Structure 1
Amino acid sequence: MIRDAFAKATGVQLLDDPTLTHLYGLPILLSHGDMLCTDDVQYMAFREKVRQPVWQDAFLSQTLAQRQAFIHQARAQSETEKSTKIASIMDVNTQALAKLMQAFQYPSVLIHGHTHRPNHHVHSVDGYAFDRYVLGDWYEQGSYLRLQADGTIMAETIVV
Structure 2
Amino acid sequence: MPQALTPLDAAPGWRRIDLLSDLHLSPDMPATLARFRAHLAATPADAVFLLGDIFEAWVGDDARWQAGTFEQFALELLRDVSRHRALFFMHGNRDFVLGEAMAADASMRLLSDPTRLNAFGHTWLLSHGDQLCLEDVGYLRARAIVRRPDVQATLLALPLFARRALARHLRAKSRMHQTDPGRWADVDDDASRDWLKASGCDTLIHGHTHRPATHDLGDGLTRVVLSDWDYDHGPGRGDVLVIDADGLRRIEPLT
**Which interval holds the TM-score relative to the shorter structure?**
0.7 to 0.9
Change (3 A) 1:142 1:55: farther
Query: SS of the residue aligned with 2:209?
Result: coil
- Tell me the distance in 1 between the aligned counterparts of 2:175 and 2:254: 23
Residue type matched to 1:90 in 2? A
Query: SS of the residue aligned with 2:253?
Result: strand
Which of 172, 182, 188 lines up with 1:93 in the alignment?
A: 188
User: Does 2:229 align with 1:134?
Assistant: no
- Tell me the distance in 2 between the aligned counterparts of 1:52 and 1:137: 29
Residue type matched to 1:98 in 2? R
- In the alignment, structure 1 segments of 5+ residues that lack a partner are none
User: Deviations for 1:93-150, whole angstroms, at most 9, x for unmatched residues?
Assistant: 2222122112212x232111111222232322xx233242323146745432122321
Aligned to 1:104: 199
Query: SS of the residue aligned with 2:116?
Result: strand
User: Does 2:153 align with 1:57?
Assistant: yes
User: Does 2:116 align with 1:20?
Assistant: yes
Q: CA RMSD in A?
A: 2.5
> What is the Cα deviation at residue 17 of structure 1?
0.4
Larger deviation: 96-105 or 70-79? 70-79
Query: SS of the residue aligned with 1:2?
Result: coil
Matches within 5 A, 1:1-160: 1-82=97-178, 87=183, 90-105=185-200, 107-124=201-218, 127-137=219-229, 140=232, 142-157=238-253
Change (3 A) 1:5 1:152: closer
- In the alignment, structure 2 segments of 5+ residues that lack a partner are 1-96
- Tell me the distance in 1 between the aligned counterparts of 2:133 and 2:141: 11
Q: Is the contact between residue 120 and residue 132 of structure 1 (CA under 8 Å) also seen in structure 2?
A: yes
- Tell me the distance in 2 between the aligned counterparts of 1:142 and 1:83: 18
Using structure 2 for the length normalisation, give the TM-score. 0.53
- Tell me the distance in 2 between the aligned counterparts of 1:144 and 1:131: 15
Using structure 1 for the length normalisation, give the TM-score. 0.81
Query: SS of the residue aligned with 2:250?
Result: strand
Structure that is richer in strand per residue: 1
Residue type matched to 1:116 in 2? H
Residue type matched to 2:144 in 1? E
Q: Which has the higher contact order (CA 8 A, sep 6+)?
A: 2
- Tell me the distance in 2 between the aligned counterparts of 1:10 and 1:70: 25
Q: Is the contact between residue 189 and residue 217 of structure 2 (CA under 8 Å) also seen in structure 1?
A: no
Percentage of matched positions with identical amino acids: 34
Q: Is the contact between residue 122 and residue 130 of structure 1 (CA under 8 Å) also seen in structure 2?
A: yes
Q: Is the contact between residue 119 and residue 133 of structure 1 (CA under 8 Å) also seen in structure 2?
A: yes
Larger deviation: 72-81 or 47-56? 72-81
